[in-house]
Structure formats: C-alpha cells, structure tokens
Amino acid sequence: MCRFVSQQLCTRVVNYFVGKPMKTNAVVIVSVISAGSLFLSSCDTPVGQGAAWGAATGAIIGGAATGNVRAASIGAAAGAAAGALTGKIVQENQAANYGPPPPGGYPYARWAGRPGFFYSPYTGRVYDLRGVPPGGLTRDVDTGQLFRKP
C-alpha cells in the first residue's frame, strides 16, 4: 500500500511538471523522485509507514488547498514529521507488549546463507524472517526468548 501511494504521488508530481513550460527546474523533479525512493525503502517499520502516510496526506491537502507545488511540499514535510512521531509511538507501544528488554538489548540473529533466513542466537534453529522488518523482534520457539533480525 505504501509503495502504491508513493508511486501515485510521484506520477502526479512528474505529470504536473511535464505539463509546465521548460522553466521548471530539473532539481525539483530529481528531489521528488529521490523522496519517493526514500518512501519505498522505509515502509517496513511503523515509523516509516507513519512518515509515508503523513507525507502523502500532507502533500494532497497542501496541494488541494492552494493548488501550488510549494504548499504541497510544505504539507508533505509537515505530514511526514507528524506521521513519523505517530509511528514512533505505535512502535514503542508494540515493544511494551514484550516487556522490558534484557540488559544490553536483544541479541541479533546470524545470517543463514539464504536471503531472509537467519539462525537464532539461542538455539541455532533457522527462521524464515522474510516478512520481518530489519530490527524486528522474533520469538525463539524453543526458548521463548526474543531476538532481532539484523
């Protein structure tokens, strides 16, 4: 869903600039495309998802309210900041469900040689962590202890 919204936003912005005379600055187009690629790579965590949704919503509201690109970019920046803060709160609430972390933090799994597969630091069992975002917690089924995906 996050990638779809980013692609739509980038497509609309590029279409907006393509329809304008050549006075349009190419740096702005490159910046928008770069920001879109940031959205695509950061949507795995609640903070990234919140920032992406906030930026998309802020850009839509800012652009719809005034009809110019500057207001849309200001709205996107404000929305991204608010969305990231909201995502951070959600992430902390999710972590609170696991209880306090052990001294020194949760250990990291070791790569098992195949993309997305990792060894548990406790038992050495291989886990398929392809759907877990980097830094996400997973419970070892043998010991019941939590570890992080690198």
* pTM score above 0.75: no
pLDDT at 119 > cutoff 90? yes
Q: What mean pLDDT value characterizes the chain?
A: 76
pLDDT confidence tier of residue 22, bands split at 50, 70 and 90: very low
If one counts every other C-beta atom within 10 angstroms of the C-beta of residue 16, the result is: 15
pLDDT at 1 > cutoff 50? no
Pick the range with the lowest mean pLDDT from 5-14, 15-24, 107-116.
15-24
Given this model, what pLDDT does residue 41 score?
A: 54
Which residues are CB-contacts of 4 (< 8 A; sequence separation ≥ 6)?
A: none
Are the CB atoms for 134 and 149 separated by under 8 Å? yes
Tracing tokens 């907006």 back to the chain, one arrives at: 16
Nearest to 49, CA basis, from 100, 78, 88, 11: 88
Q: What is the mean pLDDT of residues 73-90?
A: 80
